[in-house]
Structure 1
């Protein structure tokens, strides 16, 4: 069966704008990202207001996209996002500045038992509300550190202890069984700063993508993303858990142009080495940054390497059984087992074929019983109502159905 490139707006992969981006429509995408402040969502020990998230979910869904989001308790340059009831109860917050006093930070005491209890209660409630919600693609863990990015640089003494980190990860593991959660930093048992997460059910997001992603043989190799993965023995985790992130802000104005930043490590090289599924890049989606035809053409070519690309390479009928050889031409699997449906002679039925099993370089054979002369079509509908279906990289792929035998 003939190959044809899959659409760049296939679900749950590709480039991702902020939901508020001014140039959101300039480039194909199937997901959008949003931050949420913890104090907007948590009003008391067991009192939660999900209105801010629900409003963004509705807005994103209107555009047939799914949401990635993160909740933060501190965001440099913004007011404190610690719930007011904790402040009233006496939770300490350290106010400090960076970048020569230009940026103000409000870091809560991450070791205060009241704050740790609040985080655990919040994650449990958030999981009860949103785990398995088809309108959500991924969640980045957040909650700890500046931007919810799990660091308080350059004030490491304010950072959360391993105990607090473990409690947050335990809460996420218990609350989210279906929706994929991503952590900022890979860490193994030997990590000085981070609690071991190499064997936990989480992916990772590299928020300095193409800046400190690959090892260079220099002093940064011990904490660049590739170096952390290797030290953590988590280099193969992408086979089961997603890798995402954000292109480093210093690269935004020149990403996908012929005049890339000298420190740009190469988009395609980084994607293929780290098996990345999704990335944010305001250079493509923010009206502040020019988008000429050359930049768009280059971006269309390079971002096609992100995530999965499923191709039905062969269909073979023998002894009443149709066997389909399915290969993944991408760099990562599809991470959710959405139902694969077939239509045989006008009857639609759901198969037991597992999308998550189709890894790059490891073709799978899907089989079903049918008459040789029967008509066969395949589709993978999006569980989100109105969402884009997952489409194969086949010339015979239509807007919804892949025609195998007509």
Structure 2
């Protein structure tokens, strides 16, 4: 029996023979691609980089004016009732005003909305939620002070919280004026109700709702990094221990008692254990930050001393935890502007261009991150105003990334190199180091 090749295979063979013959017949010389030649480049980072550093409160206008560009981030708290004015009605003017004031100074912002603020009896949730039939107004003693505490039994409240962050993300997820968002429940939205009446499902959200909330945030935000307090590690009042998969969500961490006397003395110490609970590589994708502790006036006064308040410098802590930012609103009262700048420059990313070459049409550039943390928004190596096609977002400390693109005819001697980002506000610039002969 004769086996026949499929007709398609015969046609394919004829086509290949024809192409081979054409190739043999075509002896037209091909132009050789020009060789890449190294391009000299000298540059240095001499200021605090965008979205990093020591953070001042947005309403601290006197210190912000005095510190100038040595601060690149500002912080503000809001109540939910500052924005939500009725069912489905949102007035973002207060938020926009804060963002505009920071942007006018060439800074981005970190925002946080809170439901409970010890000592504050002003209702933090919108009136239509507070007066809903399923919500009972209550005032409790928190940290020894009369405080409004929302009633988390209320389905109206829980529905509102989810809707709020949907609306926030729709409006601000791509807004370059916002660097990071902090979220949470309880006192200061720091994921605790210390020295208060903690009752899950009543004075603090149930673990079931917390899980729903966390997954909702993961779906709502595409570009804006959001973070939780390290206190969310608690097995008592958070769902992470019971539902380990929640730790796979992409969120950052903030530590509001950073560098207290026994901070990180061993892996069992509360703050250190809480950081480790969420994984030592979380900083790869999401920012690590916090606030200098207020355990004592001494801590605040000496936290940025060269050896810190308790024998370790801020720089060593920043490297250990890959810190991108740290709220230090009182530091201008204790430290010089030069020291605040020095400490700020020890946080976040620090790029170095390690190679740069061109063949007159195309450019290649390799960038290393010499900082302690990645950048968490897209930033693009660029040559003569052309982005080279590879973002530096997520480039880890010590790692390199090469970007290349054909940008058209150009002179090597006048090639202009930079790092561009759509997440900057006017006046900001991402710098880099370079020492290429």
In the alignment, the residues of structure 2 paired with residue 312 and residue 124 of structure 1 have an alpha-carbon distance, to the nearest angstrom, of 39
In the alignment, the residues of structure 2 paired with residue 58 and residue 120 of structure 1 have an alpha-carbon distance, to the nearest angstrom, of 26
Preserved contact between residue 26 and residue 284 of structure 1 (Cα < 8 Å): no
| Residue 86 of structure 2 is aligned to residue 86 of structure 1 | no
**What is the TM-score with the length of structure 2 in the denominator?**
0.79
From the superposition, tell whether residues 328 and 339 of structure 1 become closer, same or farther in structure 2 (CA, over 3 Å).
Answer: closer
Among residues 47, 62, 65, which one is paired with 1:8 in the alignment?
47
Worse-superposed segment, 12-21 or 163-172: 163-172
| Residue 437 of structure 2 is aligned to residue 391 of structure 1 | no
| Residue 101 of structure 2 is aligned to residue 59 of structure 1 | yes
Q: Deviations over 1:378-401 (max 9, x none)?
A: 223443451402111247xxxxxx
Among residues 205, 209, 217, which one is paired with 1:172 in the alignment?
217
**What is the TM-score with the length of structure 1 in the denominator?**
0.84
Worse-superposed segment, 75-84 or 252-261: 252-261
Shift of 1:167: 2.1
In the alignment, the residues of structure 1 paired with residue 307 and residue 318 of structure 2 have an alpha-carbon distance, to the nearest angstrom, of 20
Look up the SS of the partner of 1:241 in the other structure. coil
In the alignment, the residues of structure 2 paired with residue 265 and residue 97 of structure 1 have an alpha-carbon distance, to the nearest angstrom, of 36
| Correspondence list, 1:184-203, <5 A | 184-185=229-230, 191-196=235-240, 197-203=246-252
Worse-superposed segment, 148-157 or 10-19: 148-157
Unpaired segments ≥5 residues, structure 2: 1-39, 241-245
Query: For residue 284 of structure 1, what is the aligned residue in structure 2?
Result: 331
| Residue 377 of structure 2 is aligned to residue 354 of structure 1 | no
| Residue 301 of structure 2 is aligned to residue 230 of structure 1 | no
Query: For residue 16 of structure 2, what is the aligned residue in structure 1?
Result: none
Among residues 290, 307, 317, which one is paired with 1:270 in the alignment?
317
Shift of 1:271: 0.8
In the alignment, the residues of structure 1 paired with residue 421 and residue 404 of structure 2 have an alpha-carbon distance, to the nearest angstrom, of 22
In the alignment, the residues of structure 1 paired with residue 373 and residue 137 of structure 2 have an alpha-carbon distance, to the nearest angstrom, of 41
Q: CA RMSD in A?
A: 2.8
| Correspondence list, 1:7-406, <5 A | 7-21=46-60, 22-27=62-67, 28-78=70-120, 79-90=122-133, 91-99=135-143, 101=144, 103-142=145-184, 144-155=185-196, 156-157=198-199, 158-185=203-230, 191-196=235-240, 197-211=246-260, 214-217=263-266, 221=269, 223-224=270-271, 226-232=272-278, 234-249=279-294, 250=296, 251-257=299-305, 261-262=309-310, 266-285=313-332, 289-291=333-335, 295-317=336-358, 322-343=363-384, 348-369=385-406, 374=412, 375-383=414-422, 384-394=424-434
Worse-superposed segment, 116-125 or 241-250: 241-250
From the superposition, tell whether residues 213 and 164 of structure 1 become closer, same or farther in structure 2 (CA, over 3 Å).
Answer: farther
Preserved contact between residue 77 and residue 111 of structure 2 (Cα < 8 Å): yes
Count of matched residue pairs: 378
Shift of 1:316: 3.9
Shift of 1:58: 1.2
